[in-house]
Structure 1
């Protein structure tokens, strides 16, 4: 007789969460000064983002966050007998864009087909559908639309047959070049110009040292490591904590953490920017029905009566601004020997943790 161990479920499991800030943000989506929630077991992340947030409040315009593009993608695979037939089919797909847009609208009142891109490998035709999805992150909405589009194309485009409803050319939850180049989700650029007195007084370093470290570590170091469309220190840390606290699909930090940090010494002042082309966030849909998520999104101002998509755009720029705060603080710390480890040791000993970068 096999005896099975008895598993006891905890009454409740909570990731430690704190509100950090406030952050001062301006730009083409939101101008606000607001605290942000971070759910993490890495306790030094809270004061790190907090220091960046304090710097943002010391600069009149704070962090300027510019949303430059948004689109959610789903790719499908169809098969043909030859590359020539696949190419002819691809041209036929582009000739049917108007009817494909009508079909897309029938699947959801918020889905709009923006464009279709293709790639042919041998006799395989990969189609990458790009949609706008309102306030939803769009995982289910785009799959539903893609399924309807694929069925229509299989019926009306000669020479092709079903391959897969998901073809890895989207690309979902994987670090790829195509997402970095074409974008998936919200593409947000955050930037701040920090006066020299604040760089030295609050960050305890200089613009020149941060700029040099960013080049040596984030750019050259990532190049040597073979990074894909990415050059940053730790975007994933802030994104995971923000995603968990706001009901997002946390696995999307894989592509979300692709991004580029730039730092320039401008006569002693520090220009610092973070470009995030793959922020996949939503304010409606799966994960948003929990009471604490509802309260969090309300506190972030993402439950207001706005044009469809505006609440999700607001959430995206707040996520991007949070990333800048943590990235700035970490790079500043790493310009000083021993500072990062001392902070980790002190803060995690207080929290009872034993993590390190």
Structure 2
């Protein structure tokens, strides 16, 4: 039962006299605000949200950092795959998904890797990017700044200016691309255990302010000009990398391929060539030379509180398979140039950067359920001994899990078991009753 005060507030929200977004600040009670907002929504739409839970969630934990105007929360089951034997360590991998077969299939891949002695991962690069777009009166002036930024003599000065933004941010490189009188400047920097978008954006703003001294005619159009490139498929990330660039490999013995994966080495090699390589080329794929890397990446991202939209570039992956050891065993690898993850959220700024806005700490990794999954992997929070090492470890676990998932799905396809397994595990009894009736 709602109190008379709550009832009046609901009516005011429905009428529009009290903005829905202001309830938390007006009431000082996040749970009560969510309940009143939900009631007002149901009255305005005439639709009840009976299946959407309200109770059992800490609404204080998301205030100002994760989700605005909450009315409840969505339940996603979390499964476990593993142990994944990776660089000598064993990891039980949490996966949040609503797709049947996914966890079971990845688990089978983990078993194949484990039974063959484990997988090895190598971190190739580690750097987050931000690319503002600036405009000049002429192309010649835009080119002048391009040459200035690409001159190594100026890099040390720009690094000092950039690095003032954070004790973790360290400028690594600057790459420019020009389009007429518009200049796109791609900054890359290390970010410790944070994913680092806010960190790099603040450093970029510092550099832009500094450049105005020598280039007063520079017009900053936007702090992001899409040459970064964030949350969209882009060749620049596929080629240059963004976040963590990782390669993972394993040799799966002929016996394991036969007994665990239920197929043969020649069948897997041929399928990989025709499906993941040639088939993806025919489709004009950008970074999609794999079977289903996005499946595993998304499931781990949701379970560990990552930004699920960054699954787009984080799932860039090329899967390679070839027969080794006289053609008996299988060498399999996944190369993923743009895994964007974090295990600790740093202080950041909202859009507009450091122009008088309030600092805040946020991100899904701070939430209790997601933090528990990070803790299961041993990567929760920033590493004090070796800043950035926990985030790098999580990136390698993602790559290792993708390798396991690729192995299992490709084997199911090669053995003709894909449809059968999905019919068995990916349909409810209700669905099957409807189909057969």
Q: Name which of structure 1's ranges 113-122 and 3-12 shifts more when overlaid on structure 2.
A: 3-12
1:46 and 1:351 map into 2 onto residues whose CA distance is 19
Q: 1:326 aligns with which of 405, 421, 427?
A: 405
Counterpart CA distance in 1 for 2:375 and 2:181 is 50
1:101 aligns with 2:162: no
Of residues 123, 144, 150, the one that matches 1:88 is 144
User: Structure 2: how far apart are the matches of 1:113 and 1:18?
Assistant: 38
The unaligned stretches of length 5 or more in structure 2 are: 1-14, 16-42, 55-72, 346-362, 433-437
Q: 273, 279, 282: which is aligned to 1:215?
A: 273
Write out per-residue CA displacement over residues 16-66 of structure 1, whole angstroms, 9 at most, x where no aligned residue: 10121110001xxxx311101000000210110000010111022x01111
C-alpha distance in 1 between matches for 2:136 and 2:182: 6
User: Do structure 1's residue 74 and structure 2's residue 130 form an aligned pair?
Assistant: yes
Q: Which residue, out of 311, 331, 335, partners 1:253?
A: 311
The 2-side partners of 1:216 and 1:111 are apart by: 42
Provide the residue aligned with 2:231 in structure 1.
173
Shift in alpha-carbon separation, 1:312–1:351, aligned structure 2, 3 A? farther
Going from structure 1 to structure 2, the CA distance change for 1:3 and 1:57 (only over 3 Å counts) comes to closer
Correspondence for 1:5: 46
Is residue 2:395 matched to residue 1:316? yes
Taking the TM superposition and a 5 Å limit, the aligned residue runs for 1:133-212 are 133-212=191-270
Give the aligned partner of residue 22 of structure 1: 83
- Report the CA distance shift for 1:230/1:6 in structure 2 as closer, same or farther (over 3 A): closer
Equivalent residue of 1:186, what SS?
strand
For residues 271-282 of structure 1, the aligned pairs below 5 Å read: 271-282=331-342
Output the CA distance in 2 between the equivalents of 1:57 and 1:296. 21
For residues 277-331 of structure 1, what are the alpha-carbon distances to aligned partners after superposition, in whole Å with 9 as ceiling and x for unaligned?
Answer: 0100111011121112222212211136431000001111011111111111000
Give the direction of change, closer, same or farther, for the CA distance of 1:161–1:45 in structure 2 (3 Å limit): same
Greater RCO structure (CA 8 Å; 6+ sep):
1
Q: Does 1:296 align with 2:373?
A: yes
Contact 2:84 2:114 in 1 (8 A): yes
Offset, 1:154: 2.5
The list of structure 1 runs, each at least 4 consecutive aligned residues, that deviate by more than 6 angstroms after superposition, is 351-354
Q: Which consecutive unaligned segments of at least 5 residues does structure 1 have?
A: none
In structure 1, C-alpha distance between the alignment counterparts of 2:337 and 2:83, rounded to whole Å? 24
Give, in whole Å, the separation in 1 of the partners of 2:240 and 2:299: 25
TM-score (norm 2): 0.76
Please identify the structure whose Cα radius of gyration is greater: 2
Check the 8 A contact 2:105/2:409 in 1, yes or no: yes
- Confirm or deny: 8 A CA contact 1:210 1:332 kept in the other structure: yes
Moved more, 243-252 or 291-300: 291-300
Give the CA deviation at 1:350.
5.3
1:48 counterpart = 2:105: yes
| Structure 1 residues 217 and 353: CA distance shift in structure 2, 3 A | farther
- Bigger shift: residues 200-209 or 301-310: 301-310
Moved more, 90-99 or 51-60: 90-99
Counterpart CA distance in 1 for 2:133 and 2:229 is 13
The structure richer in strand per residue is 1
Cα displacement string for residues 134-171 of structure 1 (whole angstroms, at most 9, x for unaligned residues): 00011111112112222222233354222211100000
How many corresponding residue pairs? 348
Q: Which moved more, 1:123-132 or 1:296-305?
A: 296-305
Shift of 1:353: 7.4
Q: Please give the residue correspondences for 1:334-353 in structure 2 after superposition, counting only pairs within 5 Å.
A: 334-337=413-416, 339-349=417-427
